[in-house]
Amino acid sequence: MKQENVIEVEGLSKKFGDFKAVDAITFEVKRGEIFGFLGANGAGKTTAMKMLIGISTPTSGKASVADFDVYTHAEDIKKNIGYMSQKFALYDDLSVKENITFFGGIYGLSRAQIKDKTAQLIEELGLQEVANQLVGSLPLGWKQKISFSVALLHDPKIVFLDEPTGGVDPITRRQFWEMIYKTANNGTTIFVTTHYMDEAEYCDRVSIMVNGKIEALDTPERLKKQFSVTNMNDVFLKLARG
Amino acid sequence: MSISVQHISKSYKDVKALNNISFEVNEGELFGLIGPDGAGKTTLFRILTTLLIAEKGSATVAGFDVLDDYKSIRNHVGYMPGRFSLYQDLTVEENLNFFATIFGTTVEENYDLIKDIYVQIEPFKKRRAGKLSGGMKQKLALCCALIHKPKVLFLDEPTTGVDPVSRKEFWEMLKRLQQKGITILVSTPYMDEAALCDRIALIQGGEILQIDTPPEIVKHYPKKLYNVGADNMYKLIETLKGYEHQYSVYPFGEFVHYTDNRSDFNSKELKLYLETMNLSNISIEITKPTIEDTFMELARL
């Protein structure tokens, strides 16, 4: 079932001088899977993710994302994935509608498509009252939900979420995860990093990076069994510092 | 009393950042302000460290009034803001010396206070602060906030964006500082860290929802809480939300935390309902509420 893998990575490495930021990692992610990508600060997560989204060229190894090679088809990868991070989300000085129009244009949607998508998004997220307000005036939790929806505007095969819920209140955090479940249920693959270990439990499979290598990769249930602990936090604590 | 806050309010234009906040922190206490972004935590820190003036109310820190004795407060508190605020172009060593000199002391004089933390970054003492990793920056910032032996330490979200291992180490450092007699006011959006404080205030939307010790906070949880598990998480959440008797449904790790709006809840009945909705491998067990459950229950009221 090779065609069911939307990410395939084999021996992927990235060196900065003598420093191996990512050291020969190998894994696959299936269609519709929620894949948690964990690791301590400095373990190499961001470097690995940058290679997968086509903005950093690997030093060695193989990787394909949405059937495109990271070396030769980085531009095609960018068109076929969604990306959202806590640091860069939306433009605060544009309204909700303007942001959707802007990102729709960036992703190459037609005017008619943008119009349809805007109406659909505003309806689904219940944003009728704030559609013309500047995004900067909205609570963080709303921004994150809109930002996630915007990352899905062009119906990408995979969406990369880099610490999407940092600082968000616990109720909104859960609403956000319900959106993730729904999206995955529709067949979109979710690739997510987080420092909330309860969120690691929501993933179908979880990988944990330590010093550039993937030291564990399995379902949360099997990882907990493997390390004889009752929660993902303890799995993480046992692994991340040896 | 180390910190006393009485009826403090502060607005930015038409946004009420703090609305009539009152609480007290005892000497030597490790007190946590627990709440999400936008709760008003940073505004409160800025008022208590005399960087911002409240519209209403009064506050004292280490016995000094935030308005009348603001200069004394600045000499007696350490403050680590949420955003990294050291000099990026100075080395580790230079930053530390700079802050010691500003406060009229030397690194040697109070070295025992920072020793545990400083030895971890000492190998990099010639490195510019801007070139440090996140974890090391945080340790250096803590050293600089401690170098004049403050009576009260203010830490604004020191662990945000920090991985679980480094967070655990950071809290161990705080516990050691507390044993040296320093009062600590710390804010965090991570509910699991709340359990490590002596007392906590749950804060959201500029208002305090509750103040108590962590074990007492969870006792206020008003309902019986159940862990519900099944094979398909997404379908389980959707199905529970569609159940006519549900009061709250929140994903919580590998389970869903469920409460029912009837007093005579029958788990067999719920199980039957889930089975008829084609869920498999169903488990329903009573569980203990966490601080996060309590926070969510208070926040939805």
- At A63 the pLDDT is 97
Give the domain-ending residue among B166, B193, B213.
B213
- At A29 the pLDDT is 97
Which tokens hold the place of B100?
């010691």
Give the domain-ending residue among B186, B213, B240.
B213
| Interface mutation vs chain B, best among A168, A186, A198, A208, most B CBs within 10 Å | A198
Name the one residue in this structure whose structure tokens are 């040896």. A242
Q: Across the interface, do A172 and B36 touch by the CB < 8 Å criterion? A: yes
Q: Across the interface, do A170 and B166 touch by the CB < 8 Å criterion? A: no
- At A2 the pLDDT is 46
Q: Across the interface, do B250 and A166 touch by the CB < 8 Å criterion? A: no
Question: What does the radius of gyration of chain A's CA atoms come to, in whole angstroms?
Answer: 18
Dump pLDDT digits (tens) for A33-67.
999 999 988 889 989 999 999 999 999 999 999 99
Instruction: Show residues of chain B in contact with A183, CB under 8 Å.
Output: none
- The reply to whether B190 and B235 lie within a common domain is no
- The reply to whether B17 and B151 lie within a common domain is yes
Q: Rounded to an integer, what distance in angstroms lies between the CA atom of residue B109 and that of residue A125?
A: 58
Query: Rounded to whole angstroms, what are the CA distances from A21 to A35, A48, A180, A240?
Result: 21, 8, 29, 15
Q: Across the interface, do A178 and B251 touch by the CB < 8 Å criterion? A: yes
- The reply to whether B148 and B40 lie within a common domain is yes
Which tokens hold the place of B169?
């180490």
- At A196 the pLDDT is 87
Instruction: Give me the mean pLDDT over the B13-23 stretch.
Output: 93
Decide: A188 and A157 in contact? Cβ < 8 Å: yes
- The reply to whether B132 and B62 lie within a common domain is yes
- The reply to whether B36 and B136 lie within a common domain is yes
B175 contact A CB<8A:
no
Domain count, chain B: 2
**CATH number of the domain bearing residue B241:** 3.30.70
Asked whether residue B218 is domain-assigned, the answer is: no
Cβ pairs bridging A and B (under 8 Å): 92
| Interface mutation vs chain A, best among B162, B165, B169, B192, most A CBs within 10 Å | B165
Q: Is the pLDDT of residue A88 over 70?
A: no
Q: Rounded to an integer, what distance in angstroms lies between the CA atom of residue B112 and that of residue A123?
A: 60
- At A242 the pLDDT is 53
Of A169, A184, A195, the CB nearest to B162: A195
- The reply to whether B198 and B271 lie within a common domain is no
Domains annotated on chain A, with CATH? 2-240 (3.40.50.300)
- At B134 the pLDDT is 78
Nearest to A184 by CA among B249, B234, B277, B241: B234
| Smallest Cα distance from A184 to chain B, Å | 9
- The reply to whether B209 and B67 lie within a common domain is yes
Asked whether residue B220 is domain-assigned, the answer is: no
Contacts of A112 (CB under 8 A, 6+ apart): none
Dump pLDDT digits (tens) for B84-97.
889 999 999 999 99
- What is the domain range of residue B179? 3-213
Name the one residue in this structure whose structure tokens are 């929501």. A202
Asked whether residue B248 is domain-assigned, the answer is: yes
Percent of chain B with pLDDT over 70: 100
**CATH number of the domain bearing residue B164:** 3.40.50.300
- The reply to whether B36 and B77 lie within a common domain is yes
